[in-house]
Amino acid sequence: FNRLLYKEKYEEIDRLNNVQSIVNELWIRKSSDDLLFMILVLLDIFSDCDIKSVKSVTSASNTGFEELKCMCSNCAKEMIDCFSDENCRKALDCLSNCKGNDQVCSYRCITSYESQAFQNFAYCILQKNNCMKYSAKAPQYPDPIPMTIFRGKPLTYEVSDDIFIGHINTKPNRITNLIDLPILSQSSLITEDNYNYESYSWMVICGQNPAYDFFSNQHQLFYKDIVPKSDNTTRSIFWYDPVFKVTTLNGEDVWRRRHYRIRRAKTPGSYYFSVIDNGVASNEYWRILDCDDNLQWAVFYYSGAASAAGTAYTGALVVSKDGKWPIMTESTTNRIYQALDRAGIKSWELFEVHNEKDYTKSGPPPLDI
């Protein structure tokens, strides 16, 4: 009865308790992004600032009558299938404990309990019908320009494509569009005989985004399909498949894989990536900030958004052939740090990826194309 009588007072108490919980969680994580967001939360609460990105996180719930009506009217089958699937139920239970659009918590839940039922559920509710009325745009700043010179010459699209393709040289185990057309999976930048190619393009040494860049054993596969056109010519389609190991909330080691379409952006070294990740579309803008002439290392930066999920993000990756740091001469160190600095990132914001080769629990990474 008291809650009904003093509804506004109790709602404010609930909101402040929620804020306290969020601040405590952000402080414990100790990442630069989380500490920055913690400051924004405090400014929103204790000043006259009205920060929209904070409001969605500190509100107690985003699900009301209209949202439930949309779900039941448009996605009844997907809801029933989800509630009948153990992993889908676990994913929803896990996500219900995440505060607002907490991407670290949410993505750990999603990668721990992936299932087709959850993908269908999320696609119907979020992507297809936008029942939650979320929206988000990729951050516009920082907006670092990609590298412009490689091996002493102006960077071209063909060369920047080959930088991404990197060290991979693998034969396809499938037939493209039912006819035996090749997959372009070898960089023209590698010219030495008897080169020890890999079944992936790059491995991540370290990353900056605490939600998406921290997974262990991150293998990056960049490759091109050659597909036929109606006029009997062919064209290439550029793909990016990250393969990474997840330690689930149940303590299991499992491999996860995504499948991005890549399109060239306005200048060489810049690209648009798109993917459907567990039912929700993400669109990203990638830039190659720098790359060693001998492909010993490279620095990539991205910004993106999953609009239907209401999330926007940025990140940076330092990569090499084996996931280990190159010989860090003064010149190499300066180039890597300067590339990151153009994206507003300091070295202390990065955290190293675990690249142990013990696959006893998980099995070998699925690197087939």
Query: What is the model's pLDDT at position 54?
Result: 63
Beta carbons of 160 and 149 less than 8 angstroms apart: no
Distance between CA atoms of 357 and 359, rounded to whole angstroms?
A: 6
The dihedral of CA 91, 95, 101, 107: what is its sign?
Answer: negative
For residue 359, the Cα-to-chain-centroid distance in whole angstroms is: 23
Query: What is the model's pLDDT at position 9?
Result: 64
Output the six-digit token pair for 102: 């907490």
Query: What is the model's pLDDT at position 188?
Result: 87
Distance between CA atoms of 266 and 98, rounded to whole angstroms?
A: 37
Query: What is the model's pLDDT at position 101?
Result: 65
N-terminal to C-terminal alpha carbon distance within the chain: 62
pLDDT beneath 70: ranges in the chain: 1-15, 29-34, 50-63, 100-101, 170-185
Query: What is the model's pLDDT at position 184?
Result: 56
Q: Where are the domains of the chain?
A: 2-128, 149-352
Query: What is the model's pLDDT at position 118?
Result: 98
Residues 6+ apart with CB under 8 A from 277: 258, 306
Distances in Å between the alpha carbon of 85 and those of 78, 80, 89, 121, 342?
11, 9, 6, 11, 46
For residue 95, the Cα-to-chain-centroid distance in whole angstroms is: 18
Query: What is the model's pLDDT at position 59?
Result: 55
Query: What is the model's pLDDT at position 177?
Result: 46
Q: Secondary structure of the chain in the HEC alphabet?
A: CHHHHCHHHHHHHHHHHHHHHHHHHHHHHCCHHHHHHHHHHHHHHHCCCCCHHHHHHHCCCCCCHHHHHHHHHHCHHHHHHHHCCHHHHHHHHHHHCCCCCCHHHHHHHHHHCCCHHHHHHHHHHHHHCCCCCCCCCCCCCCCCCCCCEECCEECCHHHHHHHHHCCECCCCCCCHHHCCCCEECCCCCCCCCCCCCECCCEEEEEECCCCCCCCEEEEEEEEEEEEECCCCCEEEEEEEEEEEEEECCCCCEEEEECCEEEEECCCCCEEEEEEEECCEEEEEEEEEEEECCCCCEEEEEEEEEEHHHCEEEEEEEEEECCCCCCCCCHHHHHHHHHHHHHCCCCHHHCEECCCCCCCCCCCCCCCCC
With vertex at residue 287, the alpha carbon angle to CA 102 and CA 214, rounded to the nearest 5 degrees, is 35
Query: What is the model's pLDDT at position 290?
Result: 99
Q: What's the pTM?
A: 0.85
* CATH superfamily of domain region 149-352: Calycin beta-barrel core domain (2.40.128.20)
